[in-house]
Amino acid sequence: MKVTYDRQTDTMTITLRDERIKESDEVRPGIIADFGFDGGIVRFEILDASKVVNNTREMQFAIGE
């Protein structure tokens, strides 16, 4: 998994796997899901991320058991 933030476009991209994108759909206002050829989600794009994410410069991970 890879998370990138583009300050110029204020876009956060969360990539779940490295696959080609077949189609994209805005699943909620400002949230775009990109789907691969197998129909599974490849990545999410969050538009106007600074309005949604508390701190775009910091990330925390939690791994459950």
- pTM confidence score: 0.84
- For the chain, strand residue ranges (E) read 2-6, 11-15, 23-28, 31-35, 41-46
Q: Which amino acid is at 64?
A: G
**Residues of the chain with confidence (pLDDT) below 50:** none
Q: What pLDDT is stored for residue 62 in this prediction?
A: 76
Q: What pLDDT is stored for residue 40 in this prediction?
A: 97
Q: Hey, what are 11's tokens?
A: 């876009």
Q: What pLDDT is stored for residue 38 in this prediction?
A: 97
Q: What pLDDT is stored for residue 51 in this prediction?
A: 92
Tell me the torsion sign for CA atoms 50, 19, 26, 1. negative
Q: Hey, what are 20's tokens?
A: 């080609």
The structural domains of the chain, with segments of one domain joined by +, span 2-51
Q: What pLDDT is stored for residue 39 in this prediction?
A: 96
